[in-house]
Amino acid sequence: MQISRRRAIAGTAAVSTTLLLPRSAWGADTLTVRIAAAPDDDITPILYAQSAGIFKRNGLDVQFQSLTSGSATAAAVIGGSIDIGKSSLVNLIAAHARNVPFVIVAPASLYTDSSPIAGFIVAKDSPIKSARDLNGKTVSASSLKDLIAVATQAWIDENGGDSKLVHFLEMPTSAVPPALETHRIDGATVVTPALAEALDTGKTRLIGRSFSAIAKRFLVAGWFTTRDYMTKNGEAVKRFATAFREAAAYTDTHRAETVALLAAYSKIAESTIRTMVRSTAGNALDPKDIEPVIAAAVRYKVIDKPFPASELIAAVR
């Protein structure tokens, strides 16, 4: 049975609560860290770190909250209700350009051409076969200046189309499949697990790997905090980054073993998770993985000018 993304999001809060360890189980030196993220596949290392006791072994009481988007998470971090959050790299790049003091403390999702977690889909009965066919058509993105919009524009321009001739419509990912079926839109870039769910219906088909137009490898999303929190809570950030790397080293190489964990959290069918391309966290923050996204953000006017990628990376010691 197909599970809608709305239902997946709604089901996350109850599950996340059960994953939290009781405060009494921690030692006197335990540090509490409040984290938040949207319920995507790249949350798997966090789920594993909680269930396997990795956060506990690193002296952390991690209190996790599920939010609906990276933008909502960014607002919670800057407002102080959340300490560390997960967001798309494009959102963090745009915030940096506006002098919002965010820094990335750990990778969350790394795109590679060999493990493409996103793709451009159209309705199964659509006459559109390639990017060239999209001139004059309507496509969607969750925001007109997010990673999906930037990647879609880049893919269209690199594959014979002209993104300036394509109409972009803001639309949540959950609304994409029905909008394609009713031909309200002609196509959209969708990220797993929503991509896998859409393709599993048999009502859509994949025509291109749009994220690859940015680069064959780049950082999609990161765990971030503010410079002020980093200055005042450096030890907590260090412990979080250390625990996350340990958990990611396992989840990046044990896909089958984490299917049930993600399914219980997200309410996505295990059969869908088992067959979809899984997200890779990676084990380090490298400016080279950020630079292509900054370049694309400049090209498609998300920001006015480039800046050194190293400015986004926190010095976690």
pLDDT in tens, 164-216: 999 999 999 999 999 999 999 999 999 988 999 999 999 999 999 999 999 99
CA distance 169 to 188: 10
Query: Do 307 and 222 lie in a common domain?
Result: yes
Query: Do 256 and 305 lie in a common domain?
Result: yes
Is 186 a member of any domain? yes
Query: Do 171 and 236 lie in a common domain?
Result: no
Query: Do 93 and 10 lie in a common domain?
Result: yes
Residue range 210-252, pLDDT digits in tens = 999 999 999 999 999 999 999 999 999 999 999 999 999 999 9
Is 259 a member of any domain? yes
Query: Do 60 and 39 lie in a common domain?
Result: yes
Predicted confidence at residue 317, as pLDDT, reads: 64
- Residue 22, pLDDT > 50, answer no
Question: Coil, helix or strand for 11?
Answer: helix
Regarding pTM above 0.85, the answer is: yes
**Host domain of residue 234:** 5-110+218-312
Query: Do 170 and 239 lie in a common domain?
Result: no
Tally of CA atoms within 13 A in the half-sphere of 202 that contains its CB: 0
Task: Answer whether the bond into residue 308 is a cis peptide, omega within 30°.
Answer: no
Query: Do 25 and 146 lie in a common domain?
Result: no
Predicted confidence at residue 88, as pLDDT, reads: 94
Residue range 255-278, pLDDT digits in tens = 999 999 999 988 889 999 999 999
Answer with the one of 213, 229, 263 that is the final residue of a domain: 213
Query: Do 195 and 125 lie in a common domain?
Result: yes
Residue range 98-141, pLDDT digits in tens = 999 999 999 999 999 999 999 999 999 999 999 999 999 999 99
Q: Per the structure, how many domains does the chain have?
A: 2
Neighbour-count burial for 90-122, b at 16+ CB within 10 Å, e otherwise:
bbbbbbbbeeeebbbbbbbbbbbeeebbbbbbb
Is 317 a member of any domain? no
Query: Do 196 and 281 lie in a common domain?
Result: no
Question: Coil, helix or strand for 138?
Answer: strand
Q: How far is CA 117 from the centre of its chain?
A: 10
Answer with the one of 213, 237, 253 that is the final residue of a domain: 213
Q: What is the CATH number of the domain that holds 63?
A: 3.40.190.10
Query: Do 127 and 199 lie in a common domain?
Result: yes
pLDDT (average), residues 71-85:
95
Is 134 a member of any domain? yes
Give the phi and the psi of residue 73 in degrees, each rounded to 5: -65, -45
Query: Do 12 and 105 lie in a common domain?
Result: yes
